[in-house]
Amino acid sequence: QVQLVESGGGLVQAGGSLRLSCAASGRTFSSYPMGWFRQAPGKEREFVAAISRNPSNTNYADSVKGRFTISRDNAKNTVYLQMNSLKPEDTAVYYCASRNSGTFYYLAYNEGDYNYWGQGTQVTVSS
């Protein structure tokens, strides 16, 4: 059974940084694309970042480009989201997700592209 467990969320002041982690178990982690999404109160869940099986291939939502970095450590079965220059509008529950299939360079951007989800971790940015 596939399990994704996020950690690293918390309360931070605007301009600060956090690093989220997503530990995967139950599958060959390195074989699948991964992504991060977030959901703010009263809003729909939205795409944040994606990484392909090739860890050098990544993409980001325009709202976080230049501030967030997604990476993966296949030896540790973990994907990370480094978040810098945080803004109050980044406040949300952050979810990691994994897809069942994909080519070496495939990036998935939509919720429906992913098969497994973590439980989420809360990030709150105060002004």
> Looking at the DSSP assignment, which residues form a beta bridge with residue 46?
38
Residue that is written with structure tokens 């959901």 in the block = 39
Supply 22's token pair. 């997503």
Output the pLDDT for position 102. 80
Output the pLDDT for position 82. 98
- Tens-level pLDDT at each residue, the chain (127 residues): 789 999 999 999 999 999 999 999 887 776 789 999 999 999 999 999 999 999 999 999 999 999 999 999 988 989 999 999 999 999 999 999 999 888 888 899 999 999 999 999 999 999 9
User: What is the DSSP annotation of 30-85?
Assistant: GGS-EEEEEE-TTS--EEEEEE-SSTT-EEE-TTTTTTEEEEEEGGGTEEEEEE-S
